[in-house]
A and B are shown apart, each in its own frame.
Chain A
């Protein structure tokens, strides 16, 4: 069941997105990744509206959130997810350039499951994204869905 759960990557910067996808490709999990270009798209995906109206139901295995995004920023998306009972179990990993204490503490207090600073060095970035994708998308057992679990 877990294998078909997608990885939601929210990244407004196309270069960062491309680099991240390159890393995912190396790990052969690129086909699982759904890319959103801003916070609004993430929420559209999660609530199955807009361009995602006809997508397969069910929560993603994990959401990788950038902090700085147009329209709805990462912290706002995080707040929306963690204050919705159906969405709250989704693991959310902040993936950002910011090492500021303020962002760290705010993210964790809103309920982020992890906080990863994007390394400047590409090799480190690739290995970080690979490890994250592997861990959260494959190794980690996602929470059971209330509607889809069949119990």
Chain B
């Protein structure tokens, strides 16, 4: 105890007691309570561990575990109740048998008594009618014994007694038979003494005693069984009661433990709905914003360009070269901003627009793109390598935009090459996705800036080198992402660039 106490001496109470050695009384008593309190503080009580375990489970598993426990409980209670009831039923069958046995034994007792008494009367009178009882016993004995054997089945003690009883009956009958023989051959005088005392007096007495013993034993067994039945019944009722209470407690506990999850889920669902509504409102706002951008921002640009043109026309005679260039710049800037607004609107629409879900024939799609680009291709020498392209799930208009941008870029950035080479093909075909590419031998780019390529308004070339608003690849990425795919690019300055589009071969969900 002292050693335990010292091991606990890190707590302030313990060190306080060790500093008072003059009080041995408190020293011996205190550690016990100290131990209890510190151990209670240090670890969770044992009964809490299943609850802690329960808390680590998912709600589905909790419900399953809870109902599993309830089910096991019901199973145990049912089994025990069934067993108990079976015992009571079996006992009541045995009781019926015992009563029958007792009655039979009493009958045998009387019959044997009667046989002996009438035998004595026969010895005295010589009237053979009195031997009826004796013959009756001789005749009925095997039946009695068989019946007795049946009734005592399963009780070796009683069956041993039956063997003894048979033996005694045989002896009584043998003694009586001997007396009859003597009377027949030697006359009354020979059996006078027997007639007075009874031929099988001792055997009969033994039979009486044995039957009494058997009756007693059977009664005792009966009593025992009644007690067993009564206690079994009480136990069953108690068990059912306790079981019902336990099941209720268990169900209540499970409810208590999952209640938190249920309310939490409800809260999350409500929150989700609220956010969805907010998102929808924000989307609507964005829509009206882009609407007003498209409408209101365009008007002043039109005016700038319009009045610049009217001005040029009005003063065309007195305009020097410099002033004409200024006017031209005003017009060009207005046009460029108009283009930016249009591109931005397309980009914003790409994010919001409903996606059509159908199968797109990329071969056909590339052909139409090349046809649409025919004006840009005029006067250019381009060597095209176009592989056979597959069909993919997606929105035809959106995917057309993707290939339009990629191919137009390839055409644009090879404009400085005497012979441009543009290749469109499949990089690899996986079971879940297909990787397509557009490769050119154009001006390429530094891989250092590869991450910026797909950003909105990101340009890797000066405006006077190649025209463009820097929104095309942002659109490509947005569209491919909406299709559940990926985009990336590889390039080297002055060596060309390859743009990859990985599209899932199966329709993306939602």
Q: Which of B302, B305, B309, B338 lies in contact with A16, CB distance below 8 A?
A: B302
> In the assembled complex, which residues on chain B have CB atoms less than 8 Å from the CB atom of A123?
309
A-B Cβ contacts below 8 A, count: 62
Contact of B299 among A16, A99, A102, A126 (CB under 8 A): A16
A55 touches B (CB below 8 Å)? no
Q: Say yes or no for A113: interface residue by CB 8 A criterion.
A: no
A19 x B303 contact (CB < 8 A): yes
Q: Cβ of A98 and Cβ of B306 under 8 Å apart?
A: no
B388-440: which residues lie under 8 A (CB-CB) from chain A? none
Can you list 18 A-B pairs with a CB-CB distance of less than 8 A?
A: A15-B303, A15-B307, A16-B303, A19-B310, A22-B310, A97-B298, A118-B298, A119-B302, A120-B298, A120-B301, A120-B334, A120-B335, A120-B338, A121-B305, A122-B308, A123-B309, A125-B305, A126-B309
Q: Which of B320-354 contact A (CB under 8 A)?
A: 331, 334-335, 338, 342, 345
Say which size band chain B's interface belongs to.
20 to 34
Closest to A14 in B: B303
Chain A residues lying within 8 Å of B310, measured Cβ to Cβ, are 19, 22, 122
Given contacts A22-B310, A122-B308, A125-B306, 5 further A-B contacts (CB under 8 A): A19-B307, A19-B310, A96-B295, A97-B302, A120-B335
CA distance A19 to B334 in the complex (A): 16
Q: At the interface, yes or no: B182 with Cβ under 8 Å from chain A?
A: no
B384 within 8 A of A: no
B395 smallest CB distance to A (angstroms)? 15
Among B296, B299, B310, the most chain A Cβ lie within 10 Å of the Cβ of B299
- Identity of the chain A residue whose Cβ is nearest the Cβ of B345 in the assembled complex: A99
Interface residues of A in 115-140 (CB under 8 A from B): 118-123, 125-126
Which residues does B use to contact A, with CB under 8 Å?
291, 294-296, 298-299, 301-303, 305-310, 331, 334-335, 338, 342, 345
A19-B306, A98-B291, A98-B294 in contact; A121/B299 too (CB < 8 A)? Answer: no
In the A-B complex, list the 5 residue pairs whose CB atoms are closest, starting with the nearest.
Answer: A120-B338, A122-B306, A122-B309, A19-B306, A97-B298
In the complex, chain B residues whose CB is within 8 Å of the CB of A119: 302
Residue A13 CB within 8 A of the other chain:
yes
Q: Which residues of A contact B345 (CB under 8 A)?
A: 99
Cross-chain contact A97 with B299 (CB below 8 angstroms): yes
A15 B295 Cβ-Cβ under 8 A: no
* Bound complex: CA A125 to CA B335 (Å): 12
A125 to B298, CA, bound (A): 12
Once the chains bind, are B291 and A100 in contact (CB under 8 Å)?
A: yes
Query: Contact at A118–B302, with CB atoms within 8 Å?
Result: yes
Q: Are the C-beta atoms of B294 and A120 separated by less than 8 Å?
A: no
Count chain B CB atoms within 10 A of each CB in A67, A99, A119 and give the residue with the most: A99
The docked-state distance in angstroms from the alpha carbon of A19 to that of B301 is: 13
* B306 A99 Cβ-Cβ under 8 A: no
Partner of A19, one of B294, B302, B331: B302
Q: Which partner residue on chain B sits nearest A117 by CB separation?
A: B298
Minimum CB–CB distance for A111 against chain B, Å: 22
Expressed in whole angstroms, the Cα–Cα distance for A101 and B294 within the complex equals: 12
